[in-house]
Amino acid sequence: MAAWLSKWGPLAGVLTAVLVIISFVNGNSTPDDNATGQHVIQWYTTHHNQQILSDVLVGLAMFFLVVFAATLTRHIRRGDRWIATGALGGAVATAIGFTCLLGFDLVLATDTKDLTPASAQTLNLLQNDFFLPAVLGFGLFGVLGGLAVVAGRILPVWMGWVLFVIGIAALVPPISWFAFLATLLWVLIAGIWMTVQGPPTVEQAEPVPADEHVLA
C-alpha cells in the first residue's frame, strides 16, 4: 500500500488543479462587499445549488492538496527534511483557510431562508475577505516547498525556484490571487512530472563485512 501511494500520490496535485478548475467553471461571481443583505439573499436563493457544488469541489481540492504536499515530503531524500515538513504545514494552513471561506459560503447557500439581511451581509463580507489564513498558507507552501525541491532534487531545480517566487508573491495581497492560480498550475505540472518520473529510489547501505564488526 505504501509503495502504491508513493507511486500514485503525486496525482493528488493533478486532482487539486482539476477540481478547482471545474469549480470555477461551475460557480459564479459572488456579491461584492458593498452588496446589501437583501441582494445577497436573493443571489444565493438563485444560485444555491451551483455554490454548494463549487464549495464541495474546492473542499475536495484542498484535501488532495494536503495529500500532494505529504507525497512531496515523502519524496525528499536529501537535504533538510524539516523544510519539506514546513511545506506540508503550509498546505494544511491553506486547506484550513479555504475551508473557512467555503464554510461561510456554504452557510449562505444552504441556509438562505433562515438568514436576516444583516446576517447575510456579514457572512458575505467574511466569505469575501477572510483570506489571510489561506494567503499565509500559500506563502508557506511556496517558500518552503520551493526550497525543499531545490535541496531534494526531486524535480528540476528551476521548478523549485519558481515555486519559491510564487510563495513570496502570495504574501503580497494585490497579487495573492494570481499567486494562487500560479500555485495550482505548478502543482498540476509537478504532479504529472513526479508521476511519470516515479518514486525516488532509496539508497541501500552496503553491508559491513563480518570481520569488520567490533565486538564489545
Q: Is residue 202 part of a domain?
A: no
Q: Are 43 and 112 in contact (CB under 8 A)?
A: no
Q: Are 94 and 62 in contact (CB under 8 A)?
A: yes
Here the cell at position 174 is 494585490
Query: What is the chain's Cα-based Rg?
Result: 21
For every residue of 131-189, DSSP letters joined together read -HHHHHHHHHHHHHHHHHHHHH-SS-HHHHHHHHHHHHHHTSGGGHHHHHHHHHHHHHH
Q: Is residue 212 part of a domain?
A: no
What is the per-residue pLDDT for 4?
A: 60
For residue 66, the enclosing domain spans: 2-196
Phi and psi angles of residue 104, each rounded to the nearest 5 degrees, phi first: -60, -45
> What is the tally of helices (H) and strands (E) in the chain?
8, 0
What is the per-residue pLDDT for 151?
A: 83
| Angle (nearest 5°) at CA 11 between 133 and 188 | 60
Write down how long the chain is. 216
Q: Is residue 57 part of a domain?
A: yes
What is the per-residue pLDDT for 208?
A: 46
How far is the C-alpha of 4 from the C-alpha of 89, rounded, in Å?
23
Q: Is residue 214 part of a domain?
A: no
What is the per-residue pLDDT for 87?
A: 87
What is the per-residue pLDDT for 212?
A: 46
CA-nearest of 97, 115, 94, 102 to 42 is 115
Q: Is residue 24 part of a domain?
A: yes
Question: What percent helix, strand, coil does the chain show, rounded to 5?
Answer: 80, 0, 20
If one counts the domains in the chain, the total is: 1
For every residue of 49-85, DSSP letters joined together read HHHHHHHHHHHHHHHHHHHHHHHHHHH--SS-HHHHH
- Write down the residue that cell numbers 495573492 correspond to: 176
> Average pLDDT for consecutive 10-residue bins of the chain (216 residues)?
68 94 85 91 91 92 93 71 83 92 91 91 91 90 90 86 95 89 94 82 46 46
Q: Is residue 201 part of a domain?
A: no
What is the per-residue pLDDT for 216?
A: 43
The pTM score is: 0.83
178's CB contacts (< 8 A; 6+ apart) are 169
Q: Is residue 158 part of a domain?
A: yes
Q: Is residue 205 part of a domain?
A: no
Q: Calculate the alpha carbon distances from 93 to 3, 66, 90 in Å.
A: 27, 9, 5
